[in-house]
Structures are given as C-alpha cells and as structure tokens.
Structure 1
Amino acid sequence: MNDILPIVLSILAAVVVIGALIPVLIKTRRNITRYPDTRDANDPEVRSGGGTAVDDSTGTIERGTPGGAGTDVVDTTTVPDDAAGLETIPVETPLPVAGRLTRLRERLVRSNNIMGKGLLALLSSDRIDESVWDEVEETLLLADLGTEPTMQLVDALRERVKVLGTRTPEHVKAMLREELIKLVDPTMDRSLNVERHADKPAVMMVVGVNGVGKTTTVGKLARVLVAEDKDVLLGAADTFRAAAAEQLATWGQRVGVPTVKSDIDGADPASVAYEAVKAGIEQEVDVVMIDTAGRLQNKVGLMDELGKVKRVVEKLAEVDEVLLVLDATTGQNGLNQARVFSEVVNITGIVLTKLDGTAKGGIVVAIQRALGVPVKLVGLGEGADDLAPFDTESFVEALLN
C-alpha cells in the first residue's frame, strides 16, 4: 500500500497540471491561423515544419478609414491583443508622409549639428588663412564626412572663396549649400521599390546589426506604406530575440497589417520568411516586409544565414529592396558594418536612425560613398511617425539653419 500511494499522488498531480494547461492551449490554437506547408521537402535550404502562422486574431483584419492630416486614430476597429487579455489595440491611420518631412526638418534644424554651423562661422571670418582651412577640414572630419569627401569639399570651397573675394554671410551660406548638395548627391534614386508586380508582391528585407532598431523601423515603415495606400504584410523572421515577433505584430495591428510569425522559439528564419512571401502571394498584397534578426558583422555563421534567407525567399519572388538600418550615432563604425552587409546581400538603400542632436550629418555622405547606394529613409525621433523619406535639399537646408 505504501508503494502505491506515491504513484497515485503523482497521477493526480499530472491530471491537475494538464487540466490547467488545456484552456491555454485552446486559446493559443484559436488565435493562430495556419497556412498549409507546401514547401519542397527535398530543398535543403527550406526547412519543413516551421510552424509559421499568420497573426490575425479576428479572422480578418481591416485597415482603418483614412482621415484628415494630423489625425492619429480615426477608426474604432480594434484587434485583440493576446498578451493583454481583454485589452484592444485601436487601428490607426498614419500621418501623411508629406507632413512628416516638414516636421522632421524642423527637428533637425533644432538639433545641435556641428557641421553646418561650424562651417558658416569659419568661412564668414574676415580673413581666411591656412589655419582657418585646417579648422574647416577638422570640422568636416569630426562630422564623419570621411577623408575623401572632406578633401573634395575643401578644394571646392578654396577655389570658390578665391574667386568670390568679398564674402557676406549670405554668399557663404549659398556657396556651402550648393557644394553640400553636390556631395549628398541629388541624382541618386531614393524611391522605395515597393510597386507590386503583375502576379506577385514587392518583397523587402530589412537587415542590420543588433540594437539599431530594425523591428521598430519595419513597424514605422509599414506606417509609411499604409499612408501611401499600400496593402502590406509583415514577416517576423527575427526568431532569436525574445518577443521580437510579438513586437512586430503589435506594430502591424496598429495599422491593420497582418504578421506572419512562427509559434516555435528559435524557428528557422528562412522558413518564416518563405511562408511570409507565400502568404503575400496568396493574399495578393502589394508589399511583403521581412524583419531579420540582428547580427554582428564579424560573425560569419550569422551573416551566411542572412544570405540563406534571401536565397530561400527568391525561390518564390524577387527581393526588390534590401534596406540596411544604421544608427547614425555610430559614425565611422557604421561604415564597417555597411561594407560587410553589402558583401552578403545586395543592399539597395540605407535607413539612418537617430539622425538628431547626437549624430553628425556627414555620415550621410560617407555611407553613400562607401556603398554606392542612397540613404532612402531617416528617423529623427521615437514617435510612431518619426520616419520619413530622405530629401537632399531639405537635409542640407536643415544643416545650414
């Protein structure tokens, strides 16, 4: 009898635990819409059994009705937030992109940029000798412009000052404006490749090192695209960082955009990305955006995995845009990151975050020179709509004001 009692107690404890877990499992199952796995099991790069799912708690998610400029929330349609129980997330209409440009430019003007203000002060001096030119050069290098662009700009300014003779602050500002615009290069195509193809969506990958804000950038960029009336689907291929998929799904829910994510911790990111593109094709969306895990540029295995994600996605559709997210405050270190990423995947554009008081404007020129690709988007704040397309003239004007 004494031998049987522990066994009976163990069985009773197991029954209690299972009984407690059943409601949780039922709720989880109810809130996940699975897609049938039609991947090629013989393909070594597409791991089967990824368990990917579309986060669509209401069965269908509808976008809010567009409202007037400056209106954040204009629709009472709500999407249940699984993590919060009964709490709901209102579907928002993002601010128009055009309105952001003015707002972000004003914020950059208020920031403490050393580049434009320093150059204006130096070149407005009564007498410009070699010591002044040395200070001009030092100012440009401290602003992360890079050695080659710095020498190019100094040579151009020397020639123009020699020809100009008398210099008023207005003349100096006009001269600097013209030369800086040349350096930033207004001829670069800064448009996003997000136009749907005849039978497939445009596909965008977002890459970068740890901690630069990729997931947040994907969420903010989704808002930009929704503001431009694009149908968007998000793919949570960052399967290593805890809560990354839920964070991305929350960003999507706020603007009525579904998210394809895995229900398995540490799932194969290439598999999740594949399922996201597959779902985008089936649902005939305009753009599929894939968020990837942060990785250090000196970790060969992680960088190889990023290349694999791109190859696997291209079995279904061409990758139209690969955006590299860089923290503008990292300065020249960002150049090293950019070069390594460009060797693994074909970078088509740069997103510069934190381009505000602690960043140095010259990094825009330096990165473009290093990669030969344009800065396409900039972030100047932590707000949901503080991401906007980069505009050369607005940027230079802000530096000089």
Structure 2
Amino acid sequence: MFGKKKKKSFFDKIKELFGGGVQGEEFFEDFEDLLIEADFGAALAVEIVKEIKDSWKSKKIGSLDEFREAMWNILERDLKVAPLEIVDGQLNLVLVLGVNGVGKTTSIAKMAHYYKKELKDSILLSAGDTFRAAAIEQLQYHGEKLGVRVVAQQHGADPGAVIFDTLDMALARNTKLVIADTAGRMHNKANLVKELQKINKIIQKKAPSAVYKKYLVIDSTTGQNGYRQAEIFNEAVGLDGVILSKYDSTAKGGAAVGISKKLGIPFVFMGLGEKYDDFIPFDKNKFLSGIFDK
C-alpha cells in the first residue's frame, strides 16, 4: 500500500526552479509566477523579485542557501507583529471581526483562555453576532467551559444593544478585558460600514477611555480571499491587527505578508489547532518556517 504523496512546499518548488543556480531572466519570470501562485499578490511579487534580482546582480546571492536566507530576511522584515498588551487600570476592549467560517468565535474563546491566566475573572465576552444561527449558544458554551461570563441577548437582537449592555457590566465591575463578537456576514461595504460605525459610536460614548482594538480573524488557508477581507474591513473601520486562524505548515503564507506590507496591518495571534491552548502570540519564525518547510 502506497503512502500519501507529500504535497510540495513553497520552498520545494523554489528548489526545483533554482536547479543548478540562478539562470537569468527566465528564472525570475518563473519565480514571480511562483510567488503569485503562493498568494503573495502581483504587486508584492514584483517587488520581491526586483529585490532578489538586485542582490543576484551584486553577487550577494549565488547558492540556494543564500537565496533562502535572502527570501527569509525580506519576508521577516515585511511581516509586522503587534502583541495585545493589557493596559493596567483601564478597560481593554477587543472587537473581533471576520466573515463566517474563519474561526472567529473559537478564536475569541482561545483569546479568553490565553488571558484568563493573567486576568483571572476580569474578562467578559460579548455575544455581538446575533445573526448567525447558534453563534450566541456557541460563545455561551465556550464561556461555560472556560468559566468566563458571556453577555448575550436573544437571536436577532440589535448588536449595538449587546455591546451597550456588555460595557455597562464591564464598567460596573471594573473589568479589565472585554472581547466582543460581531456578525460575520460579508454584506456590501455600505452596510458593513453603517453597522460597525454604530458599534464604534456606542463604544466611544460609553467607554471613551477604553484601550480599544479591532482585530480581524482570517483563515490561513484562504490565500488572496484573506487579503481581500482585510482590505474591505480595513477600509470600513480601520484594523489594529489580524488573528491568523487554522494555521499549519501548508498555509498559503503570501497573503499574510501582503496584508502586513501593503495594508500596514500587524499580526497579533495565530491559531494552531482545536484546543484552547493551541493559540499563541504571532510567531514570525514559526510562520516563516511553515513557508520554507523547515
């Protein structure tokens, strides 16, 4: 019985392309195609190829190891990371955004678990996705398992009212961290802006001194779709960071680099599996090792 054939990594393909060494213009055209295939996007691919080509011309790259090191350094430089630091003595509020199916609710639960070690009982979850079937129940289930209180209303309720109630309770209890879910419908941009602007207004009015962050959850396997989601949400409300869910070594890493480089948005966390502990601050080395399969 034959084993399952291992899928070629991004760097496996570079190795094949590289062959006996850099072979001139044809190599760079093929390399650009490979970057686009790996979801770096056309504009970013052109920039990376130019930088690598300049290094080749100036004799800084000759071997495959030098090529790999140059690529690693470029991607490490372009990836931005900004950890969520809890500011003591203030309410810290994280509004979590994302389309349905990206792992938004589970990412919220994992984030609560991550900070529970530090903040104990001073965490509130807000069930602001009142539209998706079972979203409220799913968050309540996680809250019960984690021992974290969840503020919720009935299905179909006004998300703004849920946020309002959550902030009321958080301020009354001197809560340190609120993590709020939001609807994941990829509706048109005008409706998205209107809905999120309403929530923004409530937060700014009820808790003007809160340390307020807006994080987008994207599925690491979706490639350029993830980039487009980041673009839309960033234009709508301005993002402070991205949580990369469902990460594994086969992830299409190029889109993440594009989000950082082209949109200027840093990464905050990465989800590595199904368990609550499978959630860590974004680790550049782990991410890049996945791309280079090493």
TM-score by length of 1: 0.65
1:273 deviates by 0.8
SS at match of 2:143: helix
Question: Which amino acid in structure 2 is aligned with residue 150 of structure 1?
Answer: A
1:327 Cα deviation (Å)?
Answer: 1.9
- State yes or no: 1:344 paired with 2:236: yes
The 2-side partners of 1:145 and 1:113 are apart by 17
- Quick check: 382-391 or 265-274, which moved more? 382-391
2:282 is the counterpart of 1:390: yes
Q: Secondary structure at the match of 1:125?
A: coil
CA contact (8 A) 2:39 2:223 kept: yes
Does the aligned pair in 2 maintain the 1:297–1:340 contact within 8 Å? Answer: no
Q: Deviations over 1:321-345 (max 9, x none)?
A: 1001112222222233222212332
- The separation in 2 between residues aligned to 1:190 and 1:226, in whole angstroms, is 20
Map 1:304-343 to 2 at 5 A: 304-317=194-207, 318=210, 320-343=212-235
Matches within 5 A, 1:366-377: 366-377=258-269
Matched, 1:380 2:275: no
Unaligned runs of 5+ in 1: 1-110
The alpha-carbon distance between structure 1 residues 127 and 213, as it changes in their structure 2 partners (threshold 3 A), is closer
Q: Aligned partners of 1:298 and 1:369: how far apart in 2?
A: 25
Q: Does 1:163 align with 2:61?
A: no
Which residue of structure 2 lines up, in the alignment, with residue 119 of structure 1?
14
CA distance in 1, matches of 2:288, 2:81: 17
* Partner deviation per Cα, 1:353-382 (whole Å, 9 max, x = no partner): 223355311111111234211121222322
Contact 1:203 1:288 in 2 (8 A): yes
The one-letter code sitting in structure 1 at the alignment partner of 2:195 is E
| Conservation of the 8 A alpha-carbon contact between 1:177 and 1:397 | no
SS in 2 for 1:126: coil
Q: Aligned ranges for residues 259-338 of structure 1 at < 5 Å?
A: 259-262=150-153, 264-298=154-188, 300-317=190-207, 318=210, 320-338=212-230
1:32 maps to none
Secondary structure in 2 matching 1:134: helix
Identical amino acids, percent of aligned pairs:
35
Match of 1:279, SS state, is helix
Distance 1:232 1:285 in 2: 6
Once superposed, what is the RMSD of the aligned Cα atoms?
2.3
Provide Cα deviations, 1:148-177, integer angstroms capped at 9, x if missing partner: 221121112112223337834433332222
- The structure 2 residue matched to 1:145, chosen from 40, 43, 47, is 40
Q: CA deviation at 1:252?
A: 1.8
Task: Report the AA paired with residue 226 of structure 1.
Answer: K
Point out which structure has higher relative CO (alpha carbons under 8 A, 6+ apart).
Answer: 2
Give per-residue Cα distances to partners, 1:4-25, cap 9 Å, x unaligned: xxxxxxxxxxxxxxxxxxxxxx
Compared CA separation, residues 367 and 112, structure 1 to 2 (3 A): farther
Q: CA–CA distance in 2 between the matches of 1:268 and 1:165?
A: 59
Cα distance, 1:124 vs. partner? 5.2
Residues 205, 319 of structure 1: 8 Å contact kept: no
Q: Are the aligned partners of 1:113 and 1:399 in contact in 2 as well (CA < 8 Å)?
A: no
* Paired residues of 2:221 and 2:252 also in contact (CA < 8 A): yes
* Secondary structure at the counterpart of residue 138 of structure 2: helix
2:98–2:184: 8 Å Cα contact kept in structure 1?
yes
**Residue of 135, 146, 152 corresponding to 1:255:** 146
Instruction: Give TM-score, length-normalised by structure 2.
Output: 0.87
Equivalence for 1:234 = 125
Which string of whole-angstrom CA distances, capped at 9 and with x for unpartnered residues, describes residues 303-328 of structure 1? 41222112112212135110011122
Counterpart amino acid of residue 242 in structure 1: A
What is residue 175 of structure 1 aligned with on the other side?
A: 70
**Alpha-carbon separation, structure 2, partners of 1:267 and 1:315:** 20
- Aligned residue pairs, count: 285
1:253 shift after superposition? 2.1
Q: Tell whether the 8 Å contact from 1:113 to 1:359 is kept in structure 2 after alignment.
A: no
Aligned residue for 2:125, secondary structure, equals strand
Question: Distance in 1 between the 2:200 and 2:76 partners?
Answer: 34
Q: Is the 8 A contact 1:329 1:354 kept in 2?
A: yes
Q: Is the 8 A contact 2:248 2:272 kept in 1?
A: yes
Structure 1 residues 180 and 301 mapped into 2: Cα distance closer, same or farther (>3 Å)? closer
CA contact (8 A) 1:193 1:202 kept: no
1:365 corresponds to 2:257: yes
